[in-house]
Amino acid sequence: MDVTMDKIIALAKRRGFVFPGSEIYGGMAGTYDYGPYGVELLNNLKQSWWREHVQKRENYFGLDSAIFKDPKVWDASGHTSGFSDPLSECRACNTRIRVDKELGKIGVTADEKMSEEELGALFNEHKAKIKCSKCGKSDFSPVRAFNLLIKTNMGDFTGEGDTVVYLPGEACQGIYLNFKNVVDTTRAKIPFGIAQIGKAFRNEISPRNFLFRTREMEQADTQFFVKPNENKEPYEKIKKERWEWYLRLGLKEENLRWKKHENLVFYASDAWDIEYNFPSYGFDELEGVHDRTDYDLTQHSKYSGIDLSYTDPYTGEKYIPWVLETSVGLGRMFLAFLSDAYTEDEIGGEKRVVLKLSPELAPVKVAVFPLLKNKPELVAKAREVFTALSEHTVCEWDDNGNIGKRYRRQDEIGTPRCVTIDFDTLEDDTVTVRDRDTGAQERVAISTLTSIL
Ligand code: GAP
């Protein structure tokens, strides 16, 4: 089976999972809207993540911090000075390229720590081998570091735009800002974690590959606070837990791999990515798991003037905790699960596309069909079943077209079960339950439906 990104994008559009942002105005690069089934899948991913990382754990606490933050936050975090991508422009057609990515494509590694000058020199050495993806020419402007923070203003009533605030370049900063609040208001004792799902915005030079690199994103983050130097064991545990979470929700293990960061930023102790084998372009970062030492809380202590150190309630020892971070973009996660579930097979001699999503993630859990829509007694009975099931789970009603077509439609959105109400139902209160993956059909009593589903 040849799963391409084009097929995934086509299915996402055709079945109402994802639409291009501002489409009726011609589309806006790097933005997407989640449609009726997309928002269900996205919410299921978030809910599953939240349940696992907050509700099922004693030592993790949830948070939802404000998007707007004091601009000094981004000075403290290093984003105003160092959060940039190296940019160059094709002199022939003005297409902008991300220099590190283009170098990577020809096998040259651009070190994350390189200065603008160093990268410029590396680019000059190799740029003859790089061609513009749009016009094919090889004539580029000098490399420039391009800051990714998106600026706006707030409470600026002068119209002079001198009160710049930044949209968050990463969602996790809200967690550091509230570290002390969480310690003071809960029974949090180190080691403990704070989890958040929040929006982030980046002025990406070249948004690409559908939901993979967008300018607006949501990130699911956990920050686990530990005593200095007591990081190794929990870090390995966290890595294992994140890997297993993906497998439990159905990603195929052969499509996942670990990648170690070779060139760590100066404060980091260790960093790994979980990579996913995305259709058409292969393995790339899905999630980052970072061992960040005391950098974040130290910086915010320094810039805010508030001491963010922690005092051990048993020993009285005082220290700035170290942070172990997991961070994944919901859009990338969505794309990975959608791609992994995408299957083309044949059932009863007919070709079909089916999304083999785990039932926990499927946007619709069960579809209910009256065999014929012009038989009021069938429709009334099917409505009864639909209403009863809707109390327990997410149901969809469909009375359009023949049953085969209705099955195909539900297969494409990943509905695990379809229930058909026919003339026998009126006699014996049984219905046909059809399984998405095998196509097998079973006759069951209506009274047992909820427990079976
Ligand atoms: N707080 C850490 C942080 O933001 P990151 O590696 O820059 O680290 C974390 O981002 C995750 O966010 C990535 O692994 C990826 O899943 C997602 N992500 C980053 N940039 C993205 C973009 N432009 N579009 C979609 N997802 C993105």
Q: Is 438 helix (H, G, I), strand (E, B) or coil?
A: coil
Q: Is the CB of 288 under 6 A from ligand 1?
A: yes
Q: Give the dihedral sign, CA 189/193/195/200.
A: positive
User: Taking Cα atoms as reference points, which of 83, 74, 81 lies closest to residue 165?
Assistant: 74
| Cα(327) to centroid(ligand 1), Å | 7
User: Taking Cα atoms as reference points, which of 347, 402, 393 lies closest to residue 367?
Assistant: 393
Atom of ligand 1 at shortest range from CA of 212? 25
Q: Cβ contacts of residue 238 below 8 Å, gap of 6+?
A: 222, 224, 289, 324, 326
**191, 230 Cβ separation under 8 angstroms:** yes
> What per-residue confidence (pLDDT) applies to 157?
79
User: Taking Cα atoms as reference points, which of 414, 425, 439, 356 lies closest to residue 386?
Assistant: 425
pLDDT per residue as tens digits for the range 114-136: 788 888 999 999 999 999 988 99
Any alpha helices (H) in 166-256, and if so which ranges?
Answer: 173-177, 179-185, 232-248
Query: Residue 56 has which token pair?
Result: 């099922």
Could you tell me the CA-to-CA distances from 441 to 128, 376, 432, 433, 444 in Å, in that order? Answer: 61, 24, 6, 6, 10
Q: Is the CB of 274 under 6 A from ligand 1?
A: no
Could you tell me the CA-to-CA distances from 67 to 166, 199, 333, 380, 385 in Å, in that order? Answer: 9, 7, 22, 48, 43
Q: Is the CB of 169 under 6 A from ligand 1?
A: no
Query: Could you tell which of 332, 334, 335, 337 is best to mutate to test the pocket of ligand 1, judged by most ligand atoms within 8 Å of the CB?
Result: 332
Q: Is the CB of 329 under 6 A from ligand 1?
A: yes
> What per-residue confidence (pLDDT) applies to 188?
95
Q: Give the whole-angstrom CA distance, residue 225 versus residue 188.
A: 10
Q: Which residues of the chain have pLDDT under 50?
A: none
> What per-residue confidence (pLDDT) applies to 249?
97
Q: Is the CB of 217 under 6 A from ligand 1?
A: yes
Q: Is the CB of 193 under 6 A from ligand 1?
A: no
Atom of ligand 1 at shortest range from CA of 333? 16
> What per-residue confidence (pLDDT) applies to 1?
65
Q: Is the peptide bond before 363 cis (omega within 30 degrees of 0)?
A: no
| Cα(298) to centroid(ligand 1), Å | 23
| Cα(285) to centroid(ligand 1), Å | 8
* Residue with CA nearest ligand 1 atom 27: 329
Cα angle, residue 248 at apex, residues 245 and 254 outer, rounded to 5°:
90
Task: Name the phi and psi angles at 252, rounded to 5.
Answer: -75, 135
